[in-house]
Amino acid sequence: MSNRFANTKILAFFILRKDRIRILIWIISIVLFTVVIGSMLPNLYSTGTDRQIMAETMKNPAITVMLGPGYGLDNYTDGAMMAHFMLIFTLLAVGIMNILMTIRNTREDEEEGRTEIIRSLPSGFLSPLTAAFFVSAAANTVLALTAGLSLYSLGFESMDFQGSMLYGASIGTAGIFFTSLTALFAQLTPITRSALGYSFGFLILAYIIRGIGDVESELLSLFSPLGLILRTEVYVNNHWWPVLLTLGLSVILAGLAMYLNTIRDLGAGFLQPKSGKAEASRFLSSPLGLALRLQRTAVISWTIGMLVLGLSYGSVLGDLEGFLDSSGLLLQMLPESEVFNLTERFVGMLLTILSILAAIPVLIFILKLKSEENAGRIEQLLAGAVSRTKLIGSYAFIGLAAAPVIQFMSVLGLWASAAFVMEDPLSFNILLKASMAYIPSVWVMAGLMVLAIGYLPRFTGAVWLYLGYAFFIAYLGDMLKLPEWMDYLSPFGHIPQIPLEEFHASKTLLSMLLAFGLTAAGFAGYRNRDIHG
């Protein structure tokens, strides 16, 4: 029995040593982010009326879809506000952290043949997986404790000890859950990229289901791990059962992953690769054809995914309409014009968010070039009669061309479901125009990624960080009353929110020029650097 786990401890320490910087950066960033926002909030809404207006606005179903249900809105304390604003984002960040960490230490090690060497040593066949679980448990526990204690140490009355620790426990538990889930997906498919795709797909799905559930049906939300964790009602009612339930689920998933690990061959999954065609289609005769072929599934899934996201955001707009009609209190507190603008304002915000999310697949499509290089497959392409410009151009083209398609899909989804649920539906033309106005911004992000790949492929992570910043500003910039210049630092911040604001040709043109310049500079860099592997 114990033979299956032989030398797990050594392996766990090895993973810790190998990934210590990575893990530390994640933990520190998440805690810092939490604490900074946590300490800012109380000063933002200091008067009673401020808070009441805020609480009233937060009942808005569009907000609920994005952030989750607001608890304690009758007495909207700093703690309640903080949890409402921040918990869901932190959960997403922790989810991403754990997915990436777990894939590295499970399927990626296996696909790269490193697990084989480990297994040939006197280590048990469950040891690598178990070691990965231990490391994740340790990292998430440290994260939970540091976040909890730091929040408590801020010393705000409404952020009491129990609530703060529950906040920490909530994110730590979510982390452990996503580790188990990722480990499970890592057993199913022999391909690292697919395992990564399934895990992130699940994370996004969990977010969407929670969004719809929080507005339409409490029960539905419980089926999403993110929805479940939000039911802790941190700083309001402090329920511990969601944490315990999620922990239990994580253990079950982890057990299942271990079981699957024991009944499969090393390097294999449960989805067997089929044989294929002995000859390449005509299509597969250029770098572009190859790049498309490699990303076929990803392109299709993302396109459908964005349609679904649009549909689900749109589905709450009916509730938004009803909410605004019935919210007498808001009408009293705000000037009438502002209230009637609210639908449009939220639609504008939704479109910004959808556009920022649309940048994710665009960046992924371009980033594929880097993973191809890391896998040592670019060398053989360049050894053919293929110019570097053509090579990077193919990936850049897919990314740039995907932007309008994906934008179109999400706005189509938004419009279609909105038309279905709203009494006074939105005009498709206006929505389309508003959404297309963001394409140059997506292109700027794409240009940055091309630039990074062209010069410093090690720093592509910075582009993701920048996108995260844009996302954060778009979501919470207003509510946190962040200064305007912070909004302008995001490529999405300059874009006028149609129909509230006028289309601005010169800004659009400027963004396009910037995107073009970045892309061209990236091409130049790529032509001039060593290709590694």
Partner 1 sequence: MPVVKIENLIKRFGKFTALNGIDLTVNQGEIYGFIGPNGAGKTTTIRILLGILKATEGKAKVFGMDAWKDAVEIHKKTAYVPGDVSLWPNLTGGEVIDLFVRLRNSNNKKRQEELIERFNLDPSKKCRTYSKGNRQKVALIAAFASDADLYVLDEPTSGLDPLMDSVFQECIKEVKDQGKSVLLSSHILSEVEKLCDKISIIRHGKIIESGTLDELRHLTRSRMVVKTKKPMEALDMIKGVHDLEVRDNIFYFQADTEELDNIMKYIAQFGIVKLESAPPTLEDLFIRHYMGDGGES
Find the binder of partner 1 among 72, 175, 190, 525 (CB under 8 A): 190
> Of residues 200-229, which lie at the interface with partner 1 (CB under 8 A)?
none
Find the binder of partner 1 among 1, 219, 278, 505 (CB under 8 A): 278
CA distance 294 to 365: 10
Output the CA angle 227-171-489, nearest 5 degrees: 90
Total residues interacting with partner 1, rule: CB under 8 A: 34
- Tokens 């389309």, residue? 432
The site map against partner 1 for 294-313 (x = CB under 8 A) is x-------------------
- By the rule CB under 8 A, 266 interacts with partner 1: no
- By the rule CB under 8 A, 530 interacts with partner 1: yes
- By the rule CB under 8 A, 153 interacts with partner 1: no
Q: How far is the CB of 112 from partner 1 (least distance, A)?
A: 10
CA distance 62 to 84: 14
Nearer to partner 1, 18 or 293 (CB): 293
Nearer to partner 1, 345 or 529 (CB): 529
CA distance 70 to 64: 7
> Of residues 376-415, which lie at the interface with partner 1 (CB under 8 A)?
376-377, 379-388
> Of residues 490-529, which lie at the interface with partner 1 (CB under 8 A)?
528-529
Nearer to partner 1, 29 or 301 (CB): 301
CA distance 106 to 130: 10
Q: Which stretch binds partner 1 (CB under 8 A): 137-145, 231-239, 274-282, 401-409?
A: 274-282
- By the rule CB under 8 A, 117 interacts with partner 1: no
> Of residues 6-45, which lie at the interface with partner 1 (CB under 8 A)?
none
Nearer to partner 1, 393 or 440 (CB): 393
- By the rule CB under 8 A, 456 interacts with partner 1: no
Contact 512, 366 (CB under 8 A): no
Find the binder of partner 1 among 186, 290, 342, 480 (CB under 8 A): 290
Find the binder of partner 1 among 137, 154, 191, 205 (CB under 8 A): 191
Q: How far is the CB of 389 from partner 1 (least distance, A)?
A: 9
Helices and strands, number each (H, E), in the chain: 24, 0
Structural Rg of the chain based on CA atoms: 24
Token pair of 445, please? Answer: 């992000």
- By the rule CB under 8 A, 265 interacts with partner 1: no
Per-residue burial over 296-308, b if 16 or more Cβ lie within 10 Å, else e, is eebbeebbebbbb
Chain Cα centroid distance, residue 92: 6
The closest alpha carbon to 215, from 72, 59, 73, 342, belongs to 59
Contact 497, 348 (CB under 8 A): yes
Q: How far is the CB of 179 from partner 1 (least distance, A)?
A: 25
Per-residue burial over 176-215, b if 16 or more Cβ lie within 10 Å, else e, is bbbbbbbbbbbbbbbebbbbbbbbbebbbebbbbbbbbbb
Contact 135, 15 (CB under 8 A): yes
Q: Which stretch binds partner 1 (CB under 8 A): 54-62, 272-280, 455-463, 475-483?
A: 272-280
Omega prior to 491 cis, within 30 of 0: no
Contact 159, 210 (CB under 8 A): no
Nearer to partner 1, 248 or 533 (CB): 533
Q: How far is the CB of 529 from partner 1 (least distance, A)?
A: 7
The site map against partner 1 for 341-380 (x = CB under 8 A) is ----------------------------------xxx-xx
Q: Which residues lie near partner 1 (CB under 8 A)?
A: 190-191, 273-280, 284-287, 290, 293-294, 375-377, 379-388, 528-531
